[in-house]
Structure 1
Amino acid sequence: MRIYGALFFAAALICLGVSGVRADELDEPIRRIRMGTLVVETTPGAEVRVEQLRHEFWFGAALASHVFAPWGNPADAAKYKQVFLENFNAAVTENALKWHAMEPRQGQVDYSVTDAILQWTDEHEIPLRGHNIFWGISNRVQPWLKAMDDATLRKTLEARARDIGRRYKGRFAEYDLNNEMIHGNYYEERLGSDITRDMVAWVRQEDPQAVLYLNDYDILTGRRLDDYIAQIRRLLEQGVPIGGIGVQGHLHGDSFDPVVLRASLDRLAEFKLPIRVTEFNFPGQRSKHYEQRGARLSDEEEQAKAKAIVDYYRVCFAHPAVEGILMWGFWEGANWIPVSSLYRRDWSPAPAAEAYRDLVYRQWWTNWKGRADGQGRCEVPVFFGRHRVSACEKEVIVTVGRQEGGGRVSVARP
């Protein structure tokens, strides 16, 4: 069983302040939470190389629908996919799975973009979040659904849940069940408080292994944290099998408060459920640049943005309950908050891209070279994930997981 809470963060308390996060103070909990020991057994004195191939922690991003649709620009689509694979190891559908996007007119369901995304992520072994099966905010509910009587609406919701569960059985790593319920839940208003439990049951009757998350916003700012906690508690008391807690990262401004971020994560961790930061933008929706579609950050603002993103990731990576962060857009050509992008419209990297890559692919990346001792053994500290071990002109791929805490591999001379 995972152990969450303040114990792991005791060493990090003094690092947090409204002006930023001291990296050196977060390094110790990161080592304890995100690293283990890989024991390599080989020929005595042999040179050994351990190279990380992929993190266990999800460093992900949303996938834009038009990149996978026939109407998209082929050159941009190819570059988009290339840059994604260079930067991320997990994904989420930005719009493709949303019901109002799949079935804007009753009975005319378009699965093509979702299918294309799944085909591509399967090919590249990218775990994919399904965002979302339902979205009960009133203006996201199709008019033809609102025109139904209660009995017909309930049957239609059941059909949607079963259709997704059956068609994509085993394909999505997890789903957002009913998006942003603390901000509006049309289906509960119409059909009663048990509808969330019924939605889960319908999906899981078709896909028993489906992992169904809650997902909401303004949580990590602390503003709606109490409401979210109350909702989670109520659903658990109803017997709803919540698979995880999704917390969006849109509602920050041009800065964020790391104390509030950590405290919010600590309180959510008390539920002993995995947490993902599901939709991260920085600057966020409360930024002065949010409504300025053609805005450009100054050099100083670009540097501040890069530092804030690194600080945000450090706080989350150092928290034992958090299992991933997914950016809600990484390219200015496909990002609802363009100034939050890592890459500009011409694909040149912003300072934030360089800072992000340095953090994930250098500071938090295993790249070790040494020699086995006289017994043919070496112990290598590694970040949890997949690694290539080379020795004696032979290579072995090994996965070291957090649940196991370490691993062992034998690389014998051929």
Structure 2
Amino acid sequence: MKTLINFFLLICFLLASGDITRALINEDSYATTKEENTVKTLFSPYTKQEWRSYQQKKINEGRKTQLNFIITYPNKTAVKGAKLYIKQLTSDFHWGCGMTHRILNNLAYKKWFASKFTAADFHNELKWYYTEPKPGQENYSDPDAMLKFADEHGIIVRGHTVLWDDVKYQQKWVRKLPPEKLLQAANKRVDSVVKRYKGRLVGWDVMNENLHHNFYEKRLGKNASALFYNRVHNIDPHTTLYMNEFNTTENVNDKWARPEKYLRRLNKIRAYPGNSDIKMGIGLQCHYGAEPIDLHYVRNVLTLLSQTGLPIWLTELDVKMDPGLDNKTRSELQVIYLEEILRESFCHASVKAIIIWTGASIDGCDVMCMTNEKLENTRVGDLIDRLMEEWKTGNTEVVSDSKGMSRVLVFNGQYEVTAVDPVTNVSSSVTFKVDKVSVPDNIVHLQILG
């Protein structure tokens, strides 16, 4: 066993150092055939450095914008040597974390969460079995308070989940209901939770894990999911509705959740009468197991799903390690695998957010923790902090040339830019959104009134 572990660590070291080749997917290398609608994978040998270079290229293309500043006086004379102070206020990409009711009575946990994240998924607190454990006895006090905290700190929240297709997560009283009574109870549940939080959430997981499970389809018919998506949409028409599934990126051998089946179910929901106008999104749980992650498969899946044009959220990302390994080895490998999947995911611009599952050890994160009991970073926390810093523009200073021009490549998001006259110190500021469409021709005109 020890020999096997040593060999495994050697392979991981070589991967990390780039001394052996890995396979890079040609992003045009998927195809569908009449016989089998599946993802076709073609491999080419690339070093780790080349793989990373490709990821950076995609980040620059999909998540950044080249801004061209033109600084003038009111008479349109160019301002040479003007200093431009560029401050990123927000990012178009959201870092998120799982949240539980334990945050409500822990001030340090609240400060930690609010200082890092702009998005959240509640673990259990919005699920039906949590809000109505007994028929007719609804209690929304925990999710109400958690959402209030999120609102106060500008944290967007996903509605996880309206219904869950797995039989084992149904209350006993729900399991016993005959079809007619089940439909009435489920509709009541939909109406209750969606009307309560209408317009306050960034999205709803309407029917969780409906590729692997079929509790409602078995009892209410094959269109059960589509019916509930329709009902949620009619109540909350401006909120994005998601499928949310595991193993679509994690496990190439899981026949139930392959990307072509994911798309087939999504399209079936959209094709149901009355559902054509639903704003749909793709939710991928991303619970990676105790083995090296198949990044070639991940790349192909995300490339395929991105072609829908729908927003993709990685909703519950963590990396589990083999409990048989010693703590040091387990920690080192977990960080290696986690960084690989985070970098590969981020280079796909359709991925709008990554929710880490979970963060603080107070939430009992048995798979992956960002902190210990004192809210001090683990190695996982250090990695995520480093990537958070890498994937933002931060505060930048540039100087205009003799034509009053300056150029800078920035991450998409909201910005405040201040131009300062080099002679008079008079300044002019502007706030604007940066993405591929918000800045015409990527040109920003700033006028100094000095």
Q: 1:141 to 1:411 in 2, by over 3 A?
A: farther
Query: What amino acid is aligned across from residue 214 of structure 2 in structure 1?
Result: N
CA–CA distance in structure 2, aligned partners of residues 210 and 263 of structure 1: 28
Q: CA deviation at 1:60?
A: 1.0
- Pair 1:361 & 2:361 matched: no
Q: For residues 311 and 151 of structure 2, what CA distance do their matches in structure 1 show?
A: 23
Contact 1:306/1:356 (<8 A) preserved: no
- 1:66 equivalent in alignment to 2:102: yes
Pick closer, same or farther for the CA change 1:84–1:107 going to 2, 3 Å: same
What is the rounded CA distance, in whole Å, between the counterparts of 2:187 and 2:271 in structure 1?
22
Instruction: Name the % identity.
Output: 24
Paired AA for residue 297 in structure 1:
N
Q: Are residues 1:268 and 2:297 paired? A: no
Q: Is the 1:15–1:22 contact (alpha carbons within 8 Å) kept by the matching residues of 2?
A: no
User: Which amino acid letter does the alignment assign opposite residue 376 of structure 2?
Assistant: S
Q: Does 1:307 align with 2:336?
A: yes
Distance 1:177 1:20 in 2: 40
Which range moves more in the overlay, 81-90 or 312-321? 81-90
Q: Which has the higher contact order (CA 8 A, sep 6+)?
A: 1
> What letter corresponds to residue 96 of structure 1 in structure 2?
E
Q: Is the 8 A contact 1:99 1:134 kept in 2?
A: yes
| Pairwise CA distance, 1:131 | 0.5
CA gap of 1:173–1:181, structure 2 versus 1, over 3 A, is same
Aligned position for 1:140:
169
What is the CA-CA distance between 1:230 and the residue it aligns to? Answer: 3.6
Contact 2:86 2:395 in 1 (8 A): yes
- Work out whether 1:385 is the aligned partner of 2:406: no
For 1:129 and 1:244, the matched residues in 2 are separated by 12
Aligned to 1:90: 119
Question: Residue 232 of structure 1 corresponds to which residue in structure 2?
Answer: 266
The more displaced of 373-382 and 119-128 is: 373-382
Q: How far does residue 164 in structure 1 lie from its aligned partner after superposition? A: 2.2
Q: Give the 3 Å change call, closer, same or farther, for CA 82–254 of structure 1 in structure 2.
A: farther
Residue pair 1:213, 1:246 contacting (<8 A) in 2 also: yes
Q: Which residue matches 1:6? A: 27
What's the CA shift string for 1:24-44, capped at 9, x where partnerless? Answer: 231111100110023444452
**Most deviating of 273-282 and 237-246:** 237-246
Deviation of the 1:301 alpha carbon: 3.5
Structure 1 contact 328–335 (Cα < 8 Å) conserved = no
- Equivalent residue of 2:373, what SS? coil
Deviations along 1:121-174, one digit per CA (max 9) or x if unpaired, are 222222211100111210111122223232222122222212222221110010
Residue 199 to residue 211, structure 1, CA distance change in 2 (3 Å): same
Name which of structure 1's ranges 234-243 and 156-165 shifts more when overlaid on structure 2: 234-243
Task: Name the SS for the 2:244 alignment partner.
Answer: strand
Q: CA shift at 1:206, angstroms? A: 1.9
TM-score of the superposed pair, with normalisation by structure 1: 0.85
Bigger CA radius of gyration: 2
Instruction: Assess, with a 3 A threshold, how the Cα gap between structure 1 residues 346 and 14 changes in structure 2: closer, same or farther.
Output: farther
Deviation at 1:391, TM superposition (A): 2.9
Q: Which has the larger displacement, 400-409 or 340-349?
A: 400-409
- Measured in 1, the distance between the counterparts of 2:66 and 2:132 equals 49
* Corresponding residue SS for 1:132: strand
1:79, distance to aligned residue in structure 2 (A): 1.9
Which of 390, 399, 403 is the aligned partner of 2:433?
399
Residue 50 (str. 1) matches residue 86 (str. 2): yes
Measured after TM superposition, the shift of residue 382 of structure 1 is 0.6
**Unaligned 5+ residue runs, structure 2?**
1-25, 31-42, 73-78, 421-426
Displacement of 1:14: 5.8
Q: Please give the per-residue CA displacement for 1:227-280, whole angstroms capped at 9, x wherever unaligned.
A: 434423433443544611111111422431111211222232343322111110
Per-residue deviation, 1:306:
2.1
| Match of residue 293, structure 2, among 241, 256, 278 | 256
**SS of residue matched to 2:310:** coil
User: CA offsets, 1:75-97, max 9 Å, x none?
Assistant: xx222222223322211111111
Instruction: Identify the residue that residue 184 of structure 1 maps to in structure 2.
Output: 213
Give 3-state SS (helix, strand or coil) of 2:316's partner: strand
| AA matched with 1:276 | W
Cα distance, 1:403 vs structure 2: 4.6
In structure 2, C-alpha distance between the alignment counterparts of 1:7 and 1:404, rounded to whole Å: 29
For 1:322 and 1:229, locate their aligned partners in 2 and report how far apart those are by CA, in whole Å.
16
The equivalent of 1:244 in structure 2 is 281
State the alpha-carbon separation in 1 of the partners of residues 167 and 59 from structure 2: 41
Amino acid paired to 1:25: Y
Q: 2:240–2:280: 8 Å Cα contact kept in structure 1?
A: yes
Number of corresponding residues:
390
Q: Aligned residue for 1:71?
A: none
Q: Which residue of 2 aligns with 1:23?
A: 52
Q: State whether residues 157 and 203 of structure 2, in contact with CA within 8 Å, keep that contact through their aligned partners in structure 1.
A: yes
1:281 aligned counterpart, secondary structure: strand
Q: What pairs up with 1:126-137 in 2 under 5 angstroms?
A: 126-137=155-166
